[in-house]
């Protein structure tokens, strides 16, 4: 998903006008980058709509590109959406190719984020067929009125404000890039207002529920080993690894991607401090609590006994059974198993451990700025939401402070 910062401040940097020409050949880095995202986008979970194929035929040239008819808009916004035509169209566009390369090399966007940009551009082209002239996207022809109508069409199709804001932010970023490259003179999305989104409080686990979750891997794999003695070694490894993983996530409030990206070279066991690479490859220092250190040492011992890697190996910390780095998808699958075995709400996600970390830290009296630094939040407002969650502490403070409580 595009970062929220994309919706406010344009990226700064010196102008580089050679990017568009860089992608003229099919074997160029730009073409390869766009092709990679087009291929990745083809694997996105979208269902095919029989009506959408008729909605993407290029329209005749006009002075002001307009949105397609009602059927086109409905087909491009609904759940059953086929973006193949849009993907193919922008996959051939040199400007989009350059933009994909810019996202990866300059913005350091993740694969997932860059793919979302690509799909948002594909959807826009599919909903605005008149922007395609003679088989090419005429980006400079788009007007502010069409940009506003596009946002209104997304909202009218039933998309939540957060989804509309993200898609408009993707296009706003793309046009800032075109403006930087001298392709357009102004951005038609600059004045499109963001829709107001309700601020939902994150749900968290209490301390007792967290304890149940952290004990779940050992209990689950002990049962598996008892049922199948031939799997005892694999069960011991999985139990040690997943216990350590959950302990580290909760100890430092990590995102799952940050935890699986941890390398042995990043950890200092003497000071119980380790280095984390967060969003945008920003680095920060995090702390390991004693239970996390103990669980991590036990996992590294088991891992070494299996001959997978030494305890001081500088490479990936958390490995799968084949000795490769653990993926976020694998962690999410395992987490669901542990949630059910611990008797916790089935809608719980690994990110809830991060929410729980922040809430428990603030409830215990931690400084808001310190928690912000630990979470890697760029803005304090992102951290402040956790101050509204601990109802028990709010009631306690109210009872002590209010004269009529």
Q: Which residues are catalytic?
A: 255, 279, 351, 354, 377, 386
* Token output for 352: 């809830």
* Token output for 56: 């993407």
How many whole angstroms separate alpha carbon 221 and alpha carbon 214? 13
Q: Classify 132 as helix, strand or coil.
A: strand
Task: Show Cβ contacts of residue 30 under 8 Å, excluding neighbours closer than 6 positions.
Answer: 19, 22, 23, 94, 97, 98, 100, 101
Task: Show Cβ contacts of residue 245 under 8 Å, excluding neighbours closer than 6 positions.
Answer: 259, 260, 318, 326, 331
Is residue 70 within 8 A of residue 141, CB to CB? The reply is no
Is residue 259 within 8 A of residue 376, CB to CB? The reply is no
- Show the DSSP H helices in 3-143 as ranges: 19-22, 29-42, 70-77, 84-91, 94-105, 111-127
The total number of residues shown for the chain amounts to: 405
Minimal CA–CA distance to 372: which of 272, 278, 289?
Answer: 278
DSSP state of 149: H
DSSP state of 165: H
CA dihedral defined by 236, 239, 240, 245, rounded to 10 degrees? 160
Is residue 216 within 8 A of residue 51, CB to CB? The reply is no
Is residue 249 within 8 A of residue 354, CB to CB? The reply is yes
* Token output for 311: 């305890």
How many whole angstroms separate alpha carbon 161 and alpha carbon 94? 31
* Token output for 35: 């092709």
How many whole angstroms separate alpha carbon 57 and alpha carbon 77? 16
Is residue 318 within 8 A of residue 245, CB to CB? The reply is yes
């Amino acid at each position: 998903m595009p970062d929220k910062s994309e919706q406010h401040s344009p990226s700064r940097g010196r102008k580089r006008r050679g990017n568009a020409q860089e992608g003229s050949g099919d074997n160029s880095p730009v073409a390869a980058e766009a092709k990679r995202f087009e291929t990745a986008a083809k694997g996105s979970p979208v269902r095919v709509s029989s009506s959408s194929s008729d909605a993407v035929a290029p329209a005749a040239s006009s002075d002001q590109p307009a949105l397609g008819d009602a059927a086109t808009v409905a087909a491009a916004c609904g759940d059953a959406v086929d973006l193949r035509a849009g993907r193919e169209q922008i996959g051939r566009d040199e400007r989009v190719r350059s933009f994909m390369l810019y996202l990866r090399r300059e913005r350091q966007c993740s694969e997932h984020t860059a793919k979302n940009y690509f799909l948002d551009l594909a959807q826009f082209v599919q909903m605005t067929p008149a922007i395609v002239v003679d088989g090419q996207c005429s980006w400079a022809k788009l007007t502010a009125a069409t940009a506003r109508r596009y946002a209104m069409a997304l909202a009218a199709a039933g998309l939540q404000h957060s989804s509309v804001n993200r898609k408009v932010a993707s296009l706003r970023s793309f046009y800032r890039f075109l403006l930087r490259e001298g392709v357009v003179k102004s951005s038609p999305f600059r004045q499109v207002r963001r829709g107001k989104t309700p601020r939902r409080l994150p749900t968290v686990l209490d301390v007792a529920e967290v304890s149940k979750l952290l004990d779940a891997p050992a209990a689950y794999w002990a049962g598996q080993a008892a049922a199948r003695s031939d799997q005892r070694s694999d069960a011991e490894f999985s139990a040690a690894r997943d216990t350590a993983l959950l302990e580290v996530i909760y100890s430092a409030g990590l995102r799952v991607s940050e935890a699986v990206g941890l390398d042995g070279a990043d950890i200092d066991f003497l000071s119980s401090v380790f280095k984390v690479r967060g969003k945008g490859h920003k680095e920060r220092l995090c702390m390991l609590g004693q239970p996390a250190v103990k669980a991590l040492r036990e996992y590294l011992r088991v891992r070494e006994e299996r001959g997978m890697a030494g305890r001081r190996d500088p490479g990936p910390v958390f490995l799968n059974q084949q000795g490769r780095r653990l993926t976020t998808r694998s962690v999410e699958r395992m987490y669901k198993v542990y949630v059910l075995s611990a008797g916790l709400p089935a809608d719980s996600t690994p990110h809830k451990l991060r929410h729980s970390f922040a809430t428990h830290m603030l409830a215990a009296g931690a400084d808001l700025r310190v928690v912000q630094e630990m979470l890697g939040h760029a803005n304090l407002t992102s951290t402040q939401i956790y101050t509204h969650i601990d109802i028990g502490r709010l009631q306690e403070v109210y009872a002590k402070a209010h004269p009529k409580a």
